[in-house]
């Protein structure tokens, strides 16, 4: 094709005459995107969000966010004649009397789970590769905000069908709100329009769920993408990749096509789940009444860690001067969420303070190359994981025949021990992997070829690692350590004189010290030197 | 193996032993190495490969077309209205949609991978910060504008503007006040304390059937009933606080924690609303007299005043004073003497107060 | 004993001991005379059994009782340190416990599980055993077939009662749930309508009792109708994932959903390394 087809040329001229996008396109059509599978994790969340918007809109066409009482007369026989809220009846109606309604409902719910799961793995990728470092701290903070909002969005959506399960979640929400000191009772009465459950909360949650939070999410996601676009994506270390360039494929046509394909994959996998795995079968739960509850009432997975922390907590409550602080509600509801979210938000800044590193970073760290960060991350995963696991301790107890209280008591210890163990284990693994890297560089790779030397000794031939692998390994960046040593006259630098300063200096040294420095090994290892060293280039040319 | 190597002419690269990684292959299993080495640039696809790929892509796109058509056909063919028909419709619509989407996705990936060139393009990054000239210009402009506006010079203007903004900022919050009434003492009372229209104590009725309960009928030790107040069977706000579990004990099973004056013939009524965060605590084991809340597993000893024996709940389930009326039906003697359900800031140690009042 | 050891379990072996037969006969004879005095207070039901021509069932049941139950529950069902008295528990309790395989109990766990029936536990044998225990002191009787016929119940009404009384332990579709100290509410799926009825009427193990005067037989039948209807109902949205709620859904989202998408992302971004042969 040598000329632009008339149709496209016409439209683009029309647009260019009016808004002049030419300059923007000139700069951006061939914008380079680095390739790595883990760079697509965030896109799972992005495309799930698009699916949520589309399917959610479909659902609103039939859903009636009302707590008014109706007598069910739809297609689901075991509930015919049962009194229920209009919200629940309309959700049943979507499931059984609208063609494709059940499918879209299930796709919506699966997409919600993958939206949040996608955000979580994306954040882990960003964390472990240090992609939150300058200049990307703002985008990281936006990400933390997005995750928090997504949890709220999930909570409000979970409550809408007004079935017995979602009502249990709402009741717990109320109980936790009541526990907030000073204003808890007032906030609860405002939210529920009086006493629980009242007649307003479903319609209020509906507005929050379909308008307020999605609006903010949409704005923040747009900002997130614009920042990513402007700052260009980080890249993995490798041949020809530096802090000053970006190596990869152009936006048009490759990245565009890949992103399109991944959108379809996301939609396709979620549709598969929606077809073959039943989710939230509200008709089995029955309508909500505050008098009833089912065994195994659980929140969706992303709230599981809060459920777990509520279950772990011993019964602590303080009464003073005719007022009550119920620590057994407040601590588990606020502390783990606070630790996780605040920890995530502050980490880039704490790391900067510890390392004194104010440089821009565009090359990702391999997780092993910053072992303390990786260990902290795994510690956090373990903390979250123990709480999450304990949020399902009744199912674990029932299905694996373990005494219920034993799971709780295990959890009370595990919440402190497992993160510590995870820290040590992850740290050791990182160091081990670094040693492996160092060995690959200095000794080369085992070729599997045995050679007999003239004097009769057998050796295995080592060949130097392939260029791209070696470059990938050499991408290991030094972690800066702040100046803390005494100068020539025995006086430590100004910042390191206070207790905090000394702590900072200590932390910086621990964080930044490289225990396994890389050394290039050409020539000084006789095993590597013999045999194949001169010929390895022969493998690589001809591409 | 050594023979094998010795057979090779000098100067050739040793052959690879089966089962070992190729010397230039990915040797680190956890890293996907995906980049063409060497010069950055555009490496066009092999025309033969592209031709083969085109056929695969065309096949996949055709499958998408067929599956998409099947989706539309399924919408017309499969009606809903019974659970089996809904199931069939869901399978038909969902599987055709999934196939259509996944097949299209796979087609595009093959297209990108086999027909489009391989790229290894390089672009320069520039520091995010603006250059010094720009910074200086912006700063100057900012100061110039600030001075021109007079905001700095005119103190009164500045202060009254801030003053003006304050109430406007609060206005949206004030507007939210009417979302709900003030709590008052609502959380301290339940409808059990409200007498019926003809002034009699309120009867206990079975949840689900609405039948009042004759004490003589509730006569199997180890029995449990979920009980709600007569006249409020449909009132969820009332039920959220007033729902009870009614238990029948053998007389010798009841321990000191239970107020015997509030029982009738071994029948004890506790609030069903958990004192932790308000789930209905209703898993009852008649052998151990444990009441377990399914949400966070607070466990109460029903024989001993529902005191907490495990879990995060800090207080026992309140006991409702019950008696029988002239016809032998169970009624509430009065309201609970402490607030039911989860703790709240204004609650205080209501149990201690109740004990003091009694003393 | 040694010779039978490897193919027959020890209980069966003991039962097959040459002396066991004599012991059973002797005990049965002794009980037939002496046991009547014990049974006398609850004579009404025993008389009823005799009147309906079931006296021989009682006798048969008694010998079964001595063989299979007496070691824990006592020769006269008076109970022991190991097990409660069975006087007054009624035929329904016996039928439930024995027909689900919970009794005779295998070992002293927190709770006797449902298990396959022993060879001796034929419907006739269970019926005889139930008649004997019924004759000891009354108690809930076994329901008639028509009393537990799901077709005659109203599942919608039953569903409301099921949600009010059962699901807190047994879960919203009867998939079961955890209780304290290793006890659990078992799944209702394997239970027959008769067994469900009997469980409600007698309150086996930790389960509370729902007697006929507060939850009437018709209401019990409604619940049975709901339980059997829902458990046999297809899952219109695909696999039910165990019907235990969001826990398995979360697992599927991570293990299936996320894994598939990560595989897709690896495929999209991976470039084949060209190696020369």
Rounded-to-integer distance, Cα C168 and Cα B279, Å: 11
Pair (C17, C130) in one structural domain: yes
Residue range A149-184, pLDDT digits in tens: 999 999 999 999 999 999 999 999 999 999 999 999
Residue C63 is part of a domain; what is its CATH number?
A: 1.10.760
- CATH (domain of C186): 1.10.760.10
Chain A residue with the nearest C-alpha to that of B85: A96
pLDDT the model gives residue B104: 97
The total domain count for chain C is 2
Q: Do C213 and B221 touch (CB under 8 A)?
A: no
Calculate mean pLDDT across residues A364-375: 93
Measured CA to CA, the distance from residue A535 to residue A100 in angstroms comes to 63
Cβ neighbours of residue A88 under 8 Å, at least 6 residues apart? Answer: A161, A162, A163, A282, A287, A288
Quote the mean pLDDT of chain A. Answer: 89
For domain A34-236+246-304, the CATH superfamily is: Cytochrome Bc1 Complex; Chain C (1.20.810.10)
Q: Which contacts of A313-317 are long-range, i.e. CB under 8 A and separated by 24 or more positions?
A: A313/B296, A313/B312, A314/A412, A314/B312, A315/B298, A315/B308, A315/B311, A315/B312, A315/B313, A315/B314, A316/B314, A317/B314, A317/B315, A317/B343
What are the structure tokens assigned to A321, written together? 């001067």
**R_g of chain A computed on alpha carbons:** 29
Residue B26, pLDDT above cutoff 70:
no
Same domain (yes/no): C114, C179? no
Percentage with pLDDT > 90 across chain C: 31
**Residue from the list B89, B124, B342 with its beta carbon closest to the beta carbon of A179:** B342
Q: What pLDDT does A336 receive? A: 92
When mean pLDDT is compared across A120-124, A256-260, A314-318, A535-539, the lowest value belongs to A535-539
How far is Cα A396 from Cα A403, in angstroms, rounded to an integer? 9
What average pLDDT score do residues A114-125 get? Answer: 96
**What contacts C268, CB < 8 A, 6 or more positions away?**
A37, A40, A258, A261, A262, A265, B109, B112
Q: Does A329 touch chain B (CB under 8 A)?
A: yes
Distance CA A379, CA B23 (A): 36
CA-to-CA separations, B44 to A117, A306, B123, in angstroms, rounded: 37, 53, 19
Looking at the structure, do residues C151 and C61 belong to the same domain, yes or no? no
Residues C179 and C109 in one domain: no
Contact A178 B179 (CB under 8 A): no
Q: Which fold has domain B189-344+351-358?
A: Rieske Iron-sulfur Protein (2.102.10)
Which has the minimum average pLDDT: A283-292, B96-105, C50-59?
C50-59
What is the mean predicted confidence (pLDDT) over B97-103? Answer: 96
Q: Does B193 touch chain A (CB under 8 A)?
A: no
β-sheet bridge partners, residue B290: B285, B301
- C240/chain B closest Cα distance in angstroms: 12
Chain C positions in Cβ-Cβ contact with residue B285 (cut-off 8 Å): 179-180, 183, 206-208
Upstream peptide bond of A135 is cis (omega within 30 degrees of 0): yes
Please say if the pLDDT value at position A280 is more than 50.
yes
Confidence of residue A71 (pLDDT cuts 50, 70, 90): very high
pLDDT higher than threshold 50 for residue B13: no
**Cβ atoms of residues A236 and A36 within 8 Å:** yes
Q: Tell me the average pLDDT across C192-219.
A: 90
In a domain, C217, yes or no: yes
pTM score, whole prediction: 0.88
Both tokens assigned to A538: 């022969």
State mean pLDDT over B159-183.
90
Does A537 contact chain C (CB < 8 Å)?
no
Distance separating alpha carbons of residues C29 and C27, to the nearest angstrom: 5
* CB-based contact, A93 to chain C, within 8 Å: no
Query: Which residue reads 């063919």 in tokens?
Result: B77
- Determine the distance in angstroms separating the CA of A102 from the nearest CA of chain C, rounded to an integer: 7
Asked if B277 lies within 8 A of A329 by C-beta distance, the reply is yes
| Residue C231: closest CA among C184, C154, C171, C178 | C171
Give the helix, strand, coil percentages of chain A, each rounded to 5. Answer: 65, 5, 30
pLDDT digits (tens, 9 = 90+) for C177-204: 888 888 889 999 999 999 999 999 988 8
For strands C177-178 and B330-332, give the pairing: unpaired
Res. B219: pLDDT tops 90? no
Q: CB burial class (10 A; 0-12, 13-18, 19+) of residue A222? A: exposed
Q: What confidence score (pLDDT) does residue C276 get?
A: 41
Mean pLDDT value of segment A374-391: 94
Task: Answer yes or no: is C252 within a domain.
Answer: no
Q: Which residue has the tokens 């308000």?
A: B278
Do C182 and C89 sit in the same domain of this protein? no
* Confidence at C57, pLDDT banded by 50, 70, 90: confident
**Mean pLDDT of the region C134-146:** 87
Write down the pLDDT at residue C8.
42
Tell me, yes or no, if C181 comes closer than 8 A to chain B by beta carbon. Answer: yes
Whether C239 is covered by a domain: the verdict is no
A261, A300, A393 member nearest C250 (Cβ): A300
pLDDT digits (tens, 9 = 90+) for B195-212: 888 888 999 999 988 899
In this complex, which of B12, B31, B37 lies closest to A239 when CB atoms are compared?
A: B37
For residue C80, name the pLDDT band (cuts at 50, 70, 90).
confident
Q: What is the pLDDT of residue C277?
A: 36
Of C137, C164, C199, the residue at which a domain comes to its end is C137
* CB-CB neighbors (< 8 A) of A398 in chain C: 176-178, 184-185
User: How does residue C55 score in pLDDT terms, banded at 50, 70 and 90?
Assistant: low
- Under the banding of pLDDT at 50, 70 and 90, the label for residue C23 is low
Q: Please tell me the predicted confidence (pLDDT) of residue A158.
A: 94
According to the model, what pLDDT value does residue C17 have?
54
Which residues are within 8 A (CB) of A20 and not within 5 positions of it... i.e. 6 or more apart?
none
- The residue with greater pLDDT, C270 or B163, is B163
| Closest Cβ opposite residue C268 in set A258, A279, A402 | A258
CA distance A214 to A47: 14
Q: What is the pLDDT of residue A461?
A: 85
Is residue B334 scored above 80 in pLDDT? yes
Per DSSP, the three-state class of A144 is helix
Which of A27-36, A108-117, A472-481 is predicted most confidently? A108-117
Across the interface, do B284 and C208 touch by the CB < 8 Å criterion? yes
Q: Determine the average pLDDT of the residues in A361-384.
A: 94
Residues in chain C: 277
CB A241 within 8 A of CB A66: no
Asked which of C137, C158, C175 is the last residue of a domain, the reply is C137
In the predicted model, is pLDDT for residue B349 greater than 70?
yes
Range of the domain at C177: 145-232
Instruction: Report residue A437 as tokens.
Output: 């890297």
Quote the ipTM score: 0.88
Predicted local distance difference test score (pLDDT) of residue A491: 67
Of A111-115, A398-402, B303-307, B348-352, which has the strongest mean pLDDT?
A111-115
* Mean pLDDT confidence for A76-95: 94
Q: Tell me: do C120 and C188 sit in the same domain.
A: no
Q: Where in chain A do CATH 1.20.810.10 domains reside? A: 34-236+246-304
The pLDDT value given to residue A537: 39
The two beta strands, A245-250 and A318-320, are: unpaired
With an 8 Å Cβ cutoff, are C275 and B22 in contact? Answer: yes
Collect all residues of chain A within an 8 Å Cβ-Cβ radius of residue B15. Answer: 449
pLDDT band at A446; cut points 50, 70, 90:
confident
Q: What percent of chain B has pLDDT above 70?
A: 89
Minimal C-alpha gap between A425 and chain B (Å): 18
Q: Identify whether residues C126 and C204 lie together within a single domain.
A: no
Q: What is the pLDDT of residue A417?
A: 96
C-alpha distance from A419 to closest chain B C-alpha (Å)? 23
User: CB–CB of A407/A484 below 8 Å?
Assistant: no
Choose the weakest-confidence range: A457-466, A481-490, B238-247: A481-490
Q: Kindly list the distances between the CA atom of residue B338 and the CA atoms of A195, A317, B187, B316, in Å, as whole numbers in the listed order.
A: 17, 16, 10, 11
Give a yes or no: residue C16 inside a domain: yes
Tell me, what's the pLDDT at C119?
A: 85
């Amino acid at each position: 094709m040598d000329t632009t087809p008339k149709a496209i040329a016409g439209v683009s001229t029309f647009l260019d005459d009016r808004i002049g996008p030419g300059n923007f396109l000139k700069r951006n059509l061939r914008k380079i995107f680095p390739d790595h599978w883990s760079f697509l994790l965030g896109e799972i969340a992005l495309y799930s969000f698009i699916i949520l918007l589309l399917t959610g809109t479909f659902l609103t066409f039939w859903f009636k966010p009302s707590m008014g009482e109706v007598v069910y007369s739809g297609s689901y026989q075991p509930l015919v004649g049962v009194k229920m809220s209009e919200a629940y009846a309309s959700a049943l109606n979507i499931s059984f009397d609208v063609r494709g309604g059940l499918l879209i409902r299930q796709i919506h719910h699966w997409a919600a789970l993958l939206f949040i799961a996608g955000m979580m793995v994306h954040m882990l990728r960003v964390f472990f590769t240090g992609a939150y470092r300058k200049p990307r701290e703002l985008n990281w903070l936006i990400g933390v905000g997005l995750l928090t909002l997504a949890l709220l969005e999930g909570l409000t959506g979970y409550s809408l069908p007004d079935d017995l399960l979602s009502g249990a979640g709402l009741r717990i929400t109320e109980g936790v709100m009541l526990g907030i000191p000073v204003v808890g009772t007032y906030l609860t009465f405002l939210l529920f329009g009086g006493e629980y459950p009242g007649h307003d909360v479903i319609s209020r949650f509906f507005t929050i769920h379909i308008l307020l939070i999605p609006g903010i999410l949409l704005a923040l996601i747009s900002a997130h993408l614009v920042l990513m676009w402007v700052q260009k994506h980080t890249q993995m270390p490798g041949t020809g990749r530096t802090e000053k360039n970006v190596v990869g494929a152009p936006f048009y046509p490759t990245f565009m096509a890949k992103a399109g394909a991944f959108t379809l994959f996301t939609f396709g996998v979620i549709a598969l789940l929606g077809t073959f795995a039943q989710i939230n079968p509200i008709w089995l739960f029955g309508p909500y009444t505050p008098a009833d509850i089912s065994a195994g009432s659980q929140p969706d997975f992303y709230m599981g860690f809060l459920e777990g922390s509520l279950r772990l907590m011993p019964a602590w409550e303080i009464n003073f001067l005719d007022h009550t602080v119920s620590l057994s509600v407040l601590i588990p509801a606020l502390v783990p969420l606070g630790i996780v979210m605040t920890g995530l938000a502050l980490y880039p800044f704490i790391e900067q303070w510890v390392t004194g590193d104010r440089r821009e970073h565009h090359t990702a760290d391999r997780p092993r190359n910053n072992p303390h960060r990786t260990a902290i991350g795994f510690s956090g995963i373990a903390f979250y994981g123990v709480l999450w696991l304990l949020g399902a301790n009744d199912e674990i107890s029932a299905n694996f025949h373990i005494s219920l209280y034993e799971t709780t008591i295990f959890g009370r210890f595990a919440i402190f021990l497992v993160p510590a163990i995870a820290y040590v284990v992850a740290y050791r693994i990182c160091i081990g992997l670094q040693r492996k890297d160092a060995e690959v560089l200095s000794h080369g790779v085992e070729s599997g070829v045995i050679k007999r030397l003239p004097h009769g000794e057998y050796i295995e031939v080592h060949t130097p690692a392939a260029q791209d692998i070696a470059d990938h390994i050499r991408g290991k960046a030094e972690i800066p350590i702040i100046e803390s040593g005494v100068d020539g006259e025995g006086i430590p630098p100004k910042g390191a004189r206070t207790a905090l300063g000394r702590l900072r200096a200590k932390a910086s040294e621990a964080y930044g010290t490289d225990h396994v420095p890389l050394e290039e090994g050409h020539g000084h290892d006789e095993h590597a030197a013999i045999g194949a060293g001169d010929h390895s280039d022969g493998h690589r040319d001809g591409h | 193996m050594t023979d094998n190597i010795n057979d090779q002419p000098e100067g050739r690269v040793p052959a690879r032993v089966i089962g070992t990684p190729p010397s230039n292959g990915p040797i680190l299993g956890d890293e996907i190495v995906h980049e063409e080495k060497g010069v950055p640039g555009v490496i066009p696809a092999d025309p033969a490969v592209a031709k083969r790929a085109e056929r695969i892509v065309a096949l996949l796109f055709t499958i998408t077309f067929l599956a998409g058509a099947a989706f539309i056909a399924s919408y017309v063919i499969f009606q809903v209205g019974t659970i089996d028909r809904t199931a069939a419709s869901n399978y038909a619509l969902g599987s055709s949609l999934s196939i259509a989407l996944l097949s299209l996705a796979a087609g595009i990936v093959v297209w990108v991978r086999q027909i489009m060139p391989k790229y290894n393009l390089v672009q320069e990054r520039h520091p995010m910060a603006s250059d010094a000239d720009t910074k200086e210009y912006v700063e100057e402009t900012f100061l110039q504008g600030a001075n021109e506006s007079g905001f700095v010079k005119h103190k009164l203007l500045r202060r009254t503007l801030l003053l003006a903004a304050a109430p406007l900022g609060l206005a949206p919050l004030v507007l939210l006040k009417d979302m709900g009434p003030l709590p008052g003492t609502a959380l301290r009372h339940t409808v059990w304390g409200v007498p019926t229209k003809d002034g009699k104590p309120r009867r206990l009725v079975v949840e689900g059937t609405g039948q009042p309960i004759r004490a003589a009928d509730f006569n199997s030790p180890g029995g449990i009933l979920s009980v709600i107040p007569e006249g409020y069977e449909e009132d969820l706000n009332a039920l959220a606080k007033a729902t009870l579990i009614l238990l029948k004990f053998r007389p010798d099973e009841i321990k000191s924690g239970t107020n015997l004056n509030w029982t009738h013939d071994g029948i004890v009524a506790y609030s069903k609303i958990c004192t932790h965060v308000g789930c209905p605590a209703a898993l009852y084991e008649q052998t151990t007299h444990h009441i377990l809340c399914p949400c966070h597993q607070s466990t109460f000893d029903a024989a001993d005043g529902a005191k907490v024996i495990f879990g995060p709940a800090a207080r026992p389930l309140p006991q409702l004073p019950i008696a029988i009326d002239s016809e032998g039906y169970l009624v509430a003697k009065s309201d609970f003497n402490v607030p039911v359900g989860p703790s709240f800031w204004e609650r205080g140690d209501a149990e201690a107060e109740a004990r003091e009042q009694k003393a | 004993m040694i010779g039978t050891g490897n193919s027959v379990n020890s209980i069966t072996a003991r039962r097959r001991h040459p002396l066991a037969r004599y012991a059973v006969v002797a005990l049965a004879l002794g009980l037939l005379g002496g046991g009547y005095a014990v049974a006398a207070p609850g004579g009404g039901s025993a008389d009823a059994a005799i009147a309906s021509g079931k006296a021989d069932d009682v006798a048969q049941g008694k010998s079964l009782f001595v063989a299979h139950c007496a070691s824990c529950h006592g020769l006269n069902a008076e109970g022991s340190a190991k097990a409660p008295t069975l006087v007054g528990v009624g035929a329904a309790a016996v039928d439930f416990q024995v027909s689900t395989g919970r009794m005779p109990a295998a070992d002293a766990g927190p709770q006797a599980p449902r298990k396959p029936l022993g060879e001796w536990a034929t419907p006739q044998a269970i019926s005889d055993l139930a008649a004997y225990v019924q004759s000891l002191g009354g108690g809930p009787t076994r329901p008639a077939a028509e009393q537990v016929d799901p077709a005659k119940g109203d599942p919608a009404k039953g569903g409301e009662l099921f949600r009010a009384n059962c699901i807190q332990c047994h879960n919203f579709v009867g998939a079961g749930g955890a209780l304290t100290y290793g006890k659990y509410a078992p799944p209702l799926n394997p239970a027959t309508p008769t067994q469900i009825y009997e469980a409600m009427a007698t309150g086996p193990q930790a389960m509370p009792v729902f007697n006929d005067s507060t939850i009437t037989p018709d209401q019990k039948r409604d619940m049975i109708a709901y339980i059997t209807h829902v458990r046999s109902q297809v899952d219109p949205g695909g696999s039910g994932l165990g019907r235990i709620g969001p826990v398995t859904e979360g697992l599927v989202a991570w293990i299936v959903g996320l894994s598939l998408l990560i595989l897709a992302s690896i495929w999209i971004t991976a470039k084949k390394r060209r190696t020369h042969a």
